[in-house]
Amino acid sequence: MSDGLTHAAWTDAVRDGRLLGGSCGQCDTTVGTPKAACPHCGARDLETVDLPTEGVVYTETTINVPPEGIEERGYQVAIVDLGDARLLGRVDGETVGVGDDVALSGYTEDEQGYTAPRFEAV
């Protein structure tokens, strides 16, 4: 049993301008958010790794009906390929498209204290 990446540690890292993920010891999967087990093979030995803070937009969408607790509307979110991991984040500034290069630009936090990374075009 290894030290799993906790949500608190992940959040602290995002606030610190870093991204942490988990690298599966049993398969090649890397996850971009804290997970108790590998989503691919179910192994529980996920090693905490630093993810790159620059990546490429895998897919994006604009949120017009946000989750409860978020007032803002019409903001863009993107799933970003960061090395081997994928991570959902908010997009700052200009709208990005699939395949665009983006970099971590900060974070956003909702009323429940849930932290999400923000990305912007580079």
Stretch that binds Zn ion, among 22-30, 48-56, 69-77, 101-109 (CB under 5 A): 22-30
- Amino acid at position 62, single letter: T
The single residue among 7, 15, 40, 73 that binds Zn ion, judged by CB under 5 A, is 40
Q: Which residues contact 39 (CB under 8 A, 6 or more apart)?
A: 29, 31
How many Cα atoms sit within 13 Å of 94 on the Cβ side? 8
The single residue among 24, 51, 82, 96 that binds Zn ion, judged by CB under 5 A, is 24
Query: Residue 97 Cβ, how far from Zn ion at the closest point, in Å?
Result: 31
The single residue among 38, 51, 80, 87 that binds Zn ion, judged by CB under 5 A, is 38
DSSP code at position 94 = S
For position 46 contacting Zn ion by CB under 5 A, the verdict is no
For position 43 contacting Zn ion by CB under 5 A, the verdict is yes
The single residue among 11, 23, 29, 76 that binds Zn ion, judged by CB under 5 A, is 29
- Locus of tokens 């890292």: 13
How many Cα atoms sit within 13 Å of 35 on the Cβ side? 23
55 contacts 79 by C-beta, under 8 angstroms: no
Query: Residue 116 Cβ, how far from Zn ion at the closest point, in Å?
Result: 24
For position 26 contacting Zn ion by CB under 5 A, the verdict is yes
- Amino acid at position 71, single letter: E
Query: Residue 30 Cβ, how far from Zn ion at the closest point, in Å?
Result: 9
